[in-house]
Chains A and B, each alone.
Chain A
Amino acid sequence: MKRSTRKLTKKIIYQILALLLIAFLFLPIYQMLITALRPADLPWKSPASLFPEKITLQNFKSAFDLVPRLPRYLLNSFIYGAGVSIVSLLVAIPAGYAIARFRFRGRKPIMIFVIYANMFAPIMLLVPIYVIMKKFGLVNTYLSVILAGSIFTIPLSTWLVTSYMQTIPKAIEEAALIDGCSEFSVIHRIIIPMISPAIVAVLIYAFITGWSQQFILALTLIKSDELMPITQGLYQFFSRSSVRWNEMMAAILMSTLIPVALFLVVQKYIVRGLVSGSIKE
């Protein structure tokens, strides 16, 4: 009897704490939702009402009037995301294969460098990257942000491929090698199909990062409105004196759905890759 009541109190306390945690994590998301759904002509109240008094979908339409280039920004973000994920894969698959499957001189330094590279942020290399891009005439092009952005996704991408590959037995590749397949046709015919879950994880991880986290790179490298990613595009409207919050939040909501949905699909692989990051043999 005493024991079961104690269990019940515990259950209730844990439930309340979990709800408080979710409340903290969803506070701005909730604010975004109720603002996006609130009629724009309804005057603001202070203090704000905690629940939407009236609901409309009009803001999702008028967001396109407020931000006329919204579809363009979304397309640009898609291009940045796709570009970064392609570059990351092209680098990460061969590198991950080499680190996971070969014992060669310089292997450990390469691994350590990959981990070290993961600690760099755009702000540290912004000026030289700008100068390099300027030299190659790439400032204000898609390519500049894609190339510069990939540097910050390549480390984790390589790590994800390596750690996934280490969980796959070598036997099949070895059999193929004995049968006279070359190393490169082994990659092409056997490795790539086998590690497809890791490839999907890298693809989506790099895509989301390219889509989302290129704010400072774009801020520096992209000047023309036509090439801006969604974050920079919306920031322009945000930094003006009077923000039309209803349409703004509707626009943010629409442009956040894709990365959030994709992320929920692959988070398991990303966590696995991050956790299995041991350099021990």
Chain B
Amino acid sequence: MKRKAVPYILLIPLVVAFALFLVYPLYKVVETSFYKASFLNPFYRQFVGFENYKWLFTFRLFDPKLSYFLSAFKRSLLWVAGSVGIKVVLGLLGAVLLNSKYLIGKKIYRTLVIVPWAIPWAMAAMMWAWTLNSEFGILNSILMHLHLIKAPVTFLAKPSSAFITTFIVDAWVGLPFMIIMILSGLQSIPENLYEAATIDGAGDLTKFFKITLPMIKPVLLTVTLLSTVWTFNSFDIIWILTRGGPIRATETLPIAIYNISFLMVRFGGIGKASAMTIAQVIFVSVIAIFYIRTLEKGVEA
């Protein structure tokens, strides 16, 4: 056998798998976005051109200013900003903390920090639902014991608090990944940089902004971009906690896509859901380009 052919033969399973379950479905999404189609009658579909894309910007539901799609998209962006913001800030803090020589019991902390990473998202969401329970949940009880609140809070019943609560829960799910990844970046910083800075009389904050932050910038950028995409795609947490409610306050783009494809079948759902999916693919692809560019420069650079 020719040696040149070997890598291509080895890649056959990968290419077949991607072709069948990634590229072909993606092609189907693009195609369906030009049809009026629904699960109600899967054998009937009608070519409608750009109607579904027009629908994205014209169909309104409750919101007088923005179309259904745009308001879901806007909600997604805010939700992602909230969640990724927490993940990055707490992730950085946590990593610096777990890397510090002042902390006793680092090994135990490092193991403990990872635990939530391994809990299935759906399970985590159910655990949180009970933790957040307004009557009997432990969070309200803790906040009341600390005298931070006087009466129990109904975290998931009001639109604005449900919005904030769900992205905090999502941040909880993604935080271990952030801490561990940033930590591994911190560990690759040579110790002598800090020693030299100490001799020069630099304080802790100066060291953090002049050495730590620039040194871990590549890692930080990579994980932030990756986390942005994953957070944007987040479904399980919101679905289990609020199903997109109350009054659509947590209906992010993935939830809207699911609702339109499987629940609002009468609207000719899957054509419209496909058009929304294309918007999501575009968003994800834009972030992916930045992500791949960062990787090309080399994470260890």
Given known contacts A24-B172, A25-B172, A231-B122, A125 and B103 CB-to-CB distance under 8 angstroms: no
Cα–Cα distance between A76 and B79 once the two chains are bound (Å): 33
Given known contacts A14-B97, A47-B152, A98-B10, A128 and B113 CB-to-CB distance under 8 angstroms: no
Q: Does A190 contact B (CB under 8 A)?
A: no
B residues less than 8 Å from A272 (CB atoms): 184
* B90 CB → nearest A CB, Å: 7
Cα–Cα distance between A15 and B100 once the two chains are bound (Å): 10
B10 and A30: CB pair below 8 A? Answer: no
Query: Which B212-257 residues have a C-beta within 8 angstroms of A?
Result: 219, 222, 226, 229-230, 233, 235-236, 239-240, 254, 257
- The size of the chain A interface, using a CB distance under 8 A, is 104
Interface segment, one of B11-19, B53-61, B158-166, B194-202: B11-19
- Interface residues as binary, B264-299 with A (CB distance below 8 Å gives 1, 0 otherwise): 000000100110010011001101100110011111
A residues less than 8 Å from B180 (CB atoms): 267, 271
* A33 CB → nearest B CB, Å: 10
- Interface residues as binary, B202-216 with A (CB distance below 8 Å gives 1, 0 otherwise): 000000000000000
Cα–Cα distance between A83 and B298 once the two chains are bound (Å): 34
Q: Does A160 contact B (CB under 8 A)?
A: no
Partner of A104, one of B7, B113, B116, B277: B7
Query: Which A51-100 residues have a C-beta within 8 angstroms of B?
Result: 87, 90-92, 94-95, 97-99
Partner of A255, one of B123, B128, B184: B123
Cα–Cα distance between A277 and B298 once the two chains are bound (Å): 8
Partner of B21, one of A97, A129, A248: A129
Q: Does A34 contact B (CB under 8 A)?
A: yes
Given known contacts A14-B102, A90-B13, A124-B29, A25 and B284 CB-to-CB distance under 8 angstroms: no
- Interface residues as binary, B78-93 with A (CB distance below 8 Å gives 1, 0 otherwise): 0000000000001001
Given known contacts A49-B141, A215-B120, A277-B295, A260 and B13 CB-to-CB distance under 8 angstroms: no
Q: Does B52 contact A (CB under 8 A)?
A: no
* A159 CB → nearest B CB, Å: 11
A260 and B233: CB pair below 8 A? Answer: no
Partner of A280, one of B111, B112, B297: B297
B233 and A104: CB pair below 8 A? Answer: no
Partner of B144, one of A21, A47, A107, A231: A47
Given known contacts A22-B112, A48-B140, A252-B127, A128 and B298 CB-to-CB distance under 8 angstroms: no
Q: Which residue of A lies closest to B29 (CB)?
A: A128
Q: Does A171 contact B (CB under 8 A)?
A: no
A216 and B7: CB pair below 8 A? Answer: no
B residues less than 8 Å from A131 (CB atoms): 28, 42
A residues less than 8 Å from B145 (CB atoms): 47, 50
Cα–Cα distance between A255 and B126 once the two chains are bound (Å): 13
Cα–Cα distance between A213 and B233 once the two chains are bound (Å): 13
Cα–Cα distance between A50 and B257 once the two chains are bound (Å): 40
* B238 CB → nearest A CB, Å: 11
A-B contact pairs, 26 of them (CB 8 A): A7-B102, A10-B102, A14-B102, A15-B104, A25-B113, A25-B176, A28-B127, A28-B131, A44-B135, A46-B135, A91-B13, A98-B7, A102-B6, A115-B295, A119-B288, A121-B233, A123-B277, A128-B25, A128-B32, A208-B118, A216-B258, A234-B126, A252-B123, A263-B114, A279-B295, A280-B297
Further 20 A-B residue pairs, CB within 8 A, beyond A122-B235, A151-B21, A275-B184: A10-B102, A22-B113, A46-B135, A48-B136, A48-B138, A90-B13, A98-B8, A121-B235, A124-B281, A128-B26, A129-B21, A132-B25, A212-B123, A215-B236, A245-B136, A248-B126, A248-B130, A256-B120, A260-B119, A263-B114
